[in-house]
Structure 1
């Protein structure tokens, strides 16, 4: 922290010459003897001088110089903390890559390795409320389960449906999972972390882990003693020789991976120690990357308001200034606590500054009530989940950022046609804006799906509600117009009516077939 200390506006420190000049002039004016020595004889001047009691009072020049020093240093913007941009989530994004190879069905931990991994995912999601989390599944191939989302219910729903039987190809391709996770994190605006939930890392994956620019955490699931691997029909799997397949956690391999790559490695525990360890590592990695890559610094000069106020108090003279101040202080002392606090805040901070303090505390409703700036007020309302009010706030500003934020709010409201129009306005004002282009594509896709759903509503379903029908022959129907492999919107995933397990099994199979062509 000391190494990061600097001033945001260091050129203002040149004004420190002013209090030094004031002290020098005050010392010259206070030397009465030097002023009269050329006019009065020295022996007479000694008898005419009346010296005050030394040190009985604080010299006004000292108070004035101190006030100026505090004010100049505060205006220069002392800082040692980086600040994330105001419109970016300050929570660390995480991609959870879950190993769904056959050995994850081993029962050396109860009820099984994959079930224990799913429980850890649920606990981790509970500790990361409001943070963006994605899920990737891998075995012989790697597939996206959910893109980064803050929806804990959606994450839990799809993680609960994970099973080894969903994977189209056997094996373990950790490098492919890391590559897919990297692509997801590239689209995020903040530094991210990849968590591998696995019972072993193959030697070929060490290079991919070592060269990865994101933080890597590996949680080994299983025990060194190992256990038999169950099959989906309740029996036990066999190896090539016909013997019962017995899988052990590759502790030696994980330790070697930690030494070679620098990744953080731990093994699953019966309590939440491992979950808390993961959460701490994710936060630490995020903080480290922000400190390295961030370019915004928090202005901490306002802390000098308190010493500045104390110094100003010494400049008060006897008379009306003191009496008026006493009256104002009495009014504040006998006012209700909330009114007194608000009054004091209004004396020293603008409405936007008060709103920013509430915003950083996470009190977005209060922040929206304070902000005078419409963009800040809109962001606070958006964070508070008041999307229609956020649209109204953003609408008062005609900028690319305003239209982009209106589009995001309209997506949450399900007004996909208006969201498409808002993103289009943003791109008119700011060409080639990657985030706006990506969100426009999602909005158009959702709008198209919504229109198709409305067109199909008059038709009565002929199958049972839970049945699934795939058109593998023509592939020319409406299902064929949507590229399943490219669906990256959690809002689209929410509107799927089939079970998550069936959806993922079908999706993974299609993707594996395309990759093999």
Structure 2
């Protein structure tokens, strides 16, 4: 970006007061050494030049001048001069995407081999692989809309649910786009960021079109529609066009190459950037660090023979400070608090170290949760009476197959924060898993053996405790479940439909 003088400004202008001190310092020093000025009140001014012998100073550059230069340059650097706006390199990967996949029976049509639904799932598999590090949510819908996964940056977990989807998971007929938009708006409110809703369908319910525009009014949600079908005559193209017009959504189609993926990513990134620029002022690049090099040069010039510094103030300050015990991380402790050190470890994925460093109970619990130290996480979250703490407690209980405690924890989270889509989704999941586990236990046949035989004589055998590895990720945890994602999704959607029917 070219330098523009009109864009030049300071991020922290208050530091220029230090530069003012630096400018005045040589003048004050010269005044303090002016004997004529000090003796003018005691000796006649016309006699002073003849009575004083002022040796010439061969050194025009004195330590006070370099100290002045250090103060001025340091003040300018600390003030943060800038003339260029800064957009992080990872901004395009932050665009949240909410995928809504139509599971109506029409999606089983084989005009797109093997079926429309399977072709859409294949496209989504490639899409989430390209969006590594970005947050993506998954919603499915037919006559009702259901949240499958809240926004996650784990592509393996998301793909495991996508591949488990089928048209028999939902029983209500229809295409409830209004329900999808309501779900997406709740997710986006929790994300507190502009995002995109990608509708993948082969048709639309035109009776809902009149209220969709009102649902999207004043919302940072962008809608994209990806039509699934071999040609416009094989699916409800007119209804999709009407849906696109009602939601101001670009209309694309599933392709055999990556054009559809490029189309989705381009619209999602552009919408995120445009909305983000409207919601907040762009950050500016702090160019003050460039002044560190001249600062270093001036500091090196201060190291000259015959020059010295008055260390009295420094020594006095050192004597007043209380002695600290020596520690291995004394340098970090001198500049960073324990929570700041924990944050650094957390951002560099050193979760066990972060859990030990954090003092803040919430972040300590989060770090322990990510480190799979669930005992520490439970003990830490138990100190907090918040929706997030109860939510993570529920997650830990589900991992340990303690579904009653998990259900109670999620219900507590929803009491604190009724509009908590992740807790609502996990509550339904815990209930479904509990029912599935109880059903599997009830259907287990009881077979009594005719005889028991041991291959070891009594007292000769050895016993060994086998410890199972605790799941350290959602994907590994799901693999360890005794049920498939399709089974508990079916139960979850059924329970949600039953609950909606009683409202």
Q: Is TM more than 0.5 here?
A: yes
Per-residue Cα deviation, 1:116-157 (whole angstroms, up to 9, x for no partner):
211122223334456654433334x13316142646555434
1:17 paired to 2:17: yes
**1:118 counterpart = 2:121:** yes
TM-score, normalization: structure 2? 0.60
Are residues 200 and 247 of structure 1, via their aligned partners in 2, closer, same or farther at CA, if it must alter by over 3 Å? closer
How many residues are paired up?
435
TM alignment of 1:447-466, pairs within 5 A: 450=434, 453=437, 457=441, 460-461=444-445
**1:188-247 per-position Cα deviation (integer Å, ceiling 9, x unaligned):** 5655432101245566537615752242342423468446xxxxxxxxxxxxxxxxxx44
CA distance in structure 1 between the aligned counterparts of 2:405 and 2:307, rounded to whole angstroms: 58
Q: Is the 8 A contact 1:206 1:257 kept in 2?
A: no
Distance 1:437 1:107 in 2: 35
Name the residue aligned to 1:146. Answer: 148
**Partner-residue secondary structure (3-state), 1:114:** helix
Q: 1:368 to 1:124 in 2, by over 3 A?
A: same
Distance in 1, matches of 2:120 and 2:432, equals: 37
Matches within 5 A, 1:196-215: 196-200=199-203, 205=209, 208=212, 211-212=215-216, 213-215=219-221
Please, which of 239, 253, 257 is the counterpart of residue 241 of structure 2? 253
Structure-1 residue corresponding to 2:264: 278
Map Cα deviations across residues 87-140 of structure 1 (whole Å, 9 max, x no partner).
xxx96554322234465445554434322211122223334456654433334x
What pairs with 1:486-497 in structure 2 (closer than 5 Å)?
Answer: 497=483
Query: In structure 2, which of residues 164, 172, 177 is the aligned counterpart of residue 174 of structure 1?
Result: 177
CA contact (8 A) 2:128 2:155 kept: yes
**Residue 385 (structure 2) pairs with residue 382 (structure 1):** no
1:368 alignment partner, one of 341, 354, 372: 354
Gaps of 5+ in 1: 84-89, 228-245, 323-341, 463-488
For residues 182-201 of structure 1, what are the structure 2 equivalents within 5 Å? 182-186=185-189, 191-200=194-203
Question: Partners of 1:171 and 1:401 in 2: how far apart?
Answer: 35
Residue equivalent to 1:137: 140
- Report the aligned-residue RMSD: 6.0
Residue 267 of structure 1, aligned match among 253, 275, 281: 253
Name 1:466's counterpart in structure 2: none
Q: SS where residue 255 of structure 2 aligns?
A: coil
Does the 8 A contact of 2:144 with 2:179 survive in 1? yes
Q: For residues 135 and 406 of structure 1, what CA distance do their matches in structure 2 show?
A: 20
Q: Secondary structure at the match of 1:278?
A: helix
Which of these residues, 190, 202, 221, is aligned with residue 227 of structure 2? 221
SS in 2 for 1:111: coil
C-alpha contact (below 8 Å) 1:15/1:72 kept by paired residues = yes
